[in-house]
Amino acid sequence: MTSRLIKSLSLSVFLVCAPSGCEFINFDAPMDLAPPSDPGTGLDGAVPPSSAPLYPFQPGSIWQYTVTAPDGGVSRKFVAIDRQPVMVGGNGPHQLDMAYPVRTSGSVGGQAWLVTMQQKVGDQIVNWREESFDQQGQMTLDVNWEPQQLEVDQSAERTRPGASWQENYTEIIRPSGGVPTTLRQSEAWRVVGQELLALPGIMTPFQTIVFQKSAVVGGSNDAGTGDAGARDGGTGTSDAGKSDAATGRPMLPGESEAVDGGTVFTMPKTLWYARGYGKVKEAGGNQPTEELSGLELK
């Protein structure tokens, strides 16, 4: 039923949940939805938003994004969590652990170009492995992260405005038929604040928590001694334009700042998360801008 509904819609859709369940709504005409920030409301009208997860990691759920490329081209992508966990596989330390394949594709049920092995660990959603595929479904790249790459941290201390921390990990990149490359990586995360975010075709804005993350090079931890911007693992760690709501002034190109003894590349990726809905926007880094246009949570 889900696939049939999505394929039949040509315009923006958005999830509306009622006691009877969830359905896609066609946004040929804008609708005024109950904002997720209203007290006492949530996905089912009963869950307080303060207790709803930033990333509702529910098997079978599907997110639809409108993707705008730097040259103005527009497309869609779908991110779907498999219904059942499987072993991570690959060659990393988590190969025997269980995780959910999260598939990124151009259509519902279509050939995925990325499959990321994700799992919920405490307050975090983490990435352990990611495979890239060509149009024929042949794997072209296999990446493992040790101990893990952070997708998002939902803890109270790391969702408050002004919070900042650094993630360090090793990335092992195995091109199909090529020689593996090992890079020591480091990412600086910052919660720049909260923002009431309006998206095209959706009348009600989202109350969001805004994260920024940047590659870090140098510093006493010796992280990022490889090319920290070589690839973004499908999660947006490449450099991007930066607007820091916490300080009130956008950083200009060429500026840098010290974080934990390292030099942060300016222009980080910016991520907007809304409780109960997940990531609703991603922008920056001369990469395509992604905006939520449809969703079904299981």
Contacts for 189 with CB less than 8 Å, ≥ 6 apart:
150, 153, 158, 164, 165, 166, 167, 211, 212, 213
Contacts for 20 with CB less than 8 Å, ≥ 6 apart:
none
Query: For residue 21, what are the CA distances in angstroms to 15, 25, 43, 83, 194?
Result: 10, 13, 10, 18, 29
Q: Domain ranges in the chain?
A: 2-296
For residue range 93-103, list pLDDT tens digits in order: 899 999 999 99
Q: What is the token pair recorded at 154? A: 């939902």
Average pLDDT rounded to a whole number, residues 28-49:
38
Which carries the bigger pLDDT value, residue 208 or residue 91? 208
For residue range 139-188, list pLDDT tens digits in order: 999 999 999 999 999 999 999 999 999 999 999 999 998 999 999 999 99
CA angle 201, 273, 157 (to 5 degrees): 160
Burial 260-284 (b: 16+ CB within 10 A, else e): bebbbbbbbbbbbbbbbbbbbbbbb
78 touches 113 (CB < 8 A): no
